[in-house]
Each structure stands twice: as structure tokens, then as C-alpha cells.
Amino acid sequence: MRVVLLRHTPEPEVTIAAAARISTSPLPTRHLMEKEGQEEAARLIDRLINAGHMSPLEHSSFTLSLEGISRVTSHQLVRHRLASFTQRSQRYVRMSEPKFVTPPTLSATPELRARFEKGARASFDLYIELVEAGVAEEDARYLLPSAMETEVVMTMNARELITASGLRLCPRAQWEIVSLFEGIKAEVARVAPTIGKHLRPKCYKLGYCDEFKSCGLFPTLKEMTKTV
């Protein structure tokens, strides 16, 4: 898996801060941008997030290349509707290499891992056989397993990144998407450290776990109520 930040809004945190200030300032936004410093922007963004005033964060977006993720994870990812996704098509691109994502839990049982990889390879080999026999890629791809690697280009604004990370960095989320969002967090934090700081499980903002069962970071609301 590899996450690469391709493009982002110039001065993403200054842009957010200037957009936020326009609601209470008579100055044009372009002047606010010129006056805004990084430290002041960081403090304002912290206040906005802590107060739940999230709309200014929609003015900065990040475009990332998500390479070597499985189709299992890409199917989870596109459920975040307030984002744009473009994925390598198995209809138009012939899969030429048997690249699969193998769950790490299988490493504990080498025999099962070997059978998993053999089954995935067998599906791929039959896919190639069908394509070479003249079957269209769009039909032959039905054989390809969900473990098949893919690449996705994703554009997401800062507000949605915080929301998505709140869900996907939860220790109870599936291992691969947790790893993916750890990579996203690292890339975003390079150019927007204040935003990156807020890419974390939602329980840190809530102060409790709102799932049925806690991972242990925070107690559930029901557990907290019992202790009162």
C-alpha cells in the first residue's frame, strides 16, 4: 500500500482561516489571506473544530493517490459520499499481474495462507485464459477476487477527512482501511499539520465511545452512565 498526496489547496490552513473570518470581517477575503499567519490560522482552526463550526474546513481539499489497496477496501472507501473517486477500471484495463492483498491474520497459519494465495492465483490464471480466448475484460473480471489490488484517486475536503478519519481510524475498523487512513493522515499532516492533528478516532472529540462495544480507548456512553 502506498498513499501519495498529489495536489492540495494552496496554503490549506490559511485558506480555511480566511474563509472563516469573512463571516465577521468587512475586509475582502483576499486581504484576509494576506494578513493571515500560519500560527493564527492553526489556533482558529482548533477553535472552529472544538466548537463544531466545520463549514469553513470545506474550502481546502486534498487529492491523493491510493495505491495497492484491495477492492474490499475501495468498496468501503467510496461509501464516503462527500468526496470524489476515480478507480482503475477492470473493464478497460487488462489485469496483467496477479497482485493481491493478503490479510495478515493468515500469516499465523501458513497452510491457510498458501491455500488463500493459490485460490486467488487460480482465479487470476483463469481470468487470463478467458481474456486470451477472446472473452471481454468486462466479463472475465467477474472471476477476479476482492483481494485484487487497485488504485484510487480520491479528493476530499478537510471537513470530510476529519469525519472519515473519525470512523476509519477507530481500532475496531478493518485493519486495511485503518492502515490506509494512517497513510492519508501522514500525507495531509505534511502540508496541513493542524488538520492532520484532528485526523483521529471520533471518540477523542466525543469523550466516549458511541459504538455498541468499546475498543478500550474510551468507555461507551452506557458504561459512563453506569459509573455516575
Q: For residue 9, is it left (φ>0), alpha (ψ between -120 and 50) or beta?
A: beta
Taking the C-alpha atoms of residue 228 and residue 225, their distance in angstroms, rounded to an integer, is 5
Catalytic residue list contains 168: yes
Q: How far is CA 10 from the centre of its chain?
A: 21
Taking the C-alpha atoms of residue 92 and residue 213, their distance in angstroms, rounded to an integer, is 43
Residue 194 has, within 13 A of its CA and on its CB side, a CA count of 23
Residue 57 has, within 13 A of its CA and on its CB side, a CA count of 27
**Max Cα-Cα span within the chain:** 69
Name the nearest CA neighbour of 68 among 124, 131, 142, 152.
Answer: 152
Beta strands in the chain (DSSP E): 2-8, 61-70, 83-87, 149-157
Catalytic residue among 7, 71, 168, 172: 168
C-alpha cell at 11: 496554503
**Would you please indicate which residues are annotated as catalytic (active-site) residues?**
168
